[in-house]
A and B are shown apart, each in its own frame.
Chain A
Amino acid sequence: MNRALLGPYPRTISVGAVIVFGLAFALTDARHTTWEALLPLFEWMEATSPGVISQTYGAVFALVEAAHLIAMALLGGAVLVADGRLLGLILRDFSVSRVLDQSHRLFVWSLTAMILSGVFMACGVALKVYYLNVFWYKMLALVTGVFFVFFIRRPLLRGDVENMNPQLLRLVGIASLMIWFSVAATGRWIGFSG
């Protein structure tokens, strides 16, 4: 189906389309219109049970934030191990596919914990983060990171990794590190804003 519609390069064309769509969204008024349309969602988030609990009980918010930071540390570890191996910097005695498979399991669990705790925390400060530019950059980086891992890196590394172009593997490793660095940095920035 995909091949019939998009020729022999469906994945490349899809990635190109996502980039063009992203640029069009960022450079037109669509971004502002979407942002305004999302305000009722953020107002509703503050009124939900997680929103009320985290505004009322500071200790609960602190505990969830601690879980969020631990999940982020684990995710960072999984990313550093996987990308460090792709760059040929660490664990050179182990095959790339073995390191990537094992770190991916940790990545998925920590990502799930990070998203669940992150949504809980965002409910408590929904209107604050709604007006923070850096929150939206973090969401963009997070979505990009998830897309990059599941639609770019995993399919690429499912192939014959040992015979793949090492420059491409390094480029993918560097891009992945840049994305997750941005997620972590913008996340901490939210903590110091407002």
Chain B
Amino acid sequence: MEEKNSANGNKDTALAALLAATAVIIGFIIYWSDEIQAVRDMLELAYG
């Protein structure tokens, strides 16, 4: 029983890490690609 709880706990921690890491990576890509696009738009406005 205790072994099963421990296995569930490990699985829970690993799943939480997978979920959090995926969310962070998606958020990072969206944020920085948005910022880079904003800079490109401004450069285009300034220099054509």
Q: How far is the CA of A12 from the CA of B8 in the complex (A)?
A: 11
Q: Are A153 and B13 in contact (CB under 8 A)?
A: no
Residues of B within 8 A of A (CB): 8, 10-25, 28, 31-32
* Given contact pairs A8-B8, A19-B19, A137-B31, A156 touches B14 in the complex (Cβ within 8 A): yes
CB neighbours (8 Å) of A10 from chain B are 12
Q: How far is the CA of A174 from the CA of B8 in the complex (A)?
A: 25
Residues of A within 8 A of B (CB): 8-12, 14-16, 19, 137, 144, 148, 152-153, 155-156, 159-160, 164-165, 168, 171-172, 174-175, 178-179, 182
Q: Are A152 and B17 in contact (CB under 8 A)?
A: yes
Q: How far is the CA of A16 from the CA of B25 in the complex (A)?
A: 15
- Taking the closest CB of chain A, its distance from the CB of B14, in whole angstroms, is 6
Closest to B15 in A: A12
CB neighbours (8 Å) of B32 from chain A are 182
Q: 10 pairs across A/B with beta carbons < 8 Å?
A: A12-B15, A15-B23, A16-B19, A148-B20, A156-B13, A160-B10, A171-B21, A171-B25, A174-B21, A178-B24
- Taking the closest CB of chain B, its distance from the CB of A139, in whole angstroms, is 14
Interface majority SS (helix, strand, loop, mixed), chain A: helix
- Taking the closest CB of chain B, its distance from the CB of A48, in whole angstroms, is 31
* Given contact pairs A178-B28, A182-B28, A8 touches B21 in the complex (Cβ within 8 A): no
* Given contact pairs A165-B14, A179-B28, A182-B31, A12 touches B19 in the complex (Cβ within 8 A): yes
Q: Are A179 and B19 in contact (CB under 8 A)?
A: no
* Given contact pairs A8-B8, A137-B31, A182-B31, A175 touches B13 in the complex (Cβ within 8 A): no
- Taking the closest CB of chain A, its distance from the CB of B11, in whole angstroms, is 8
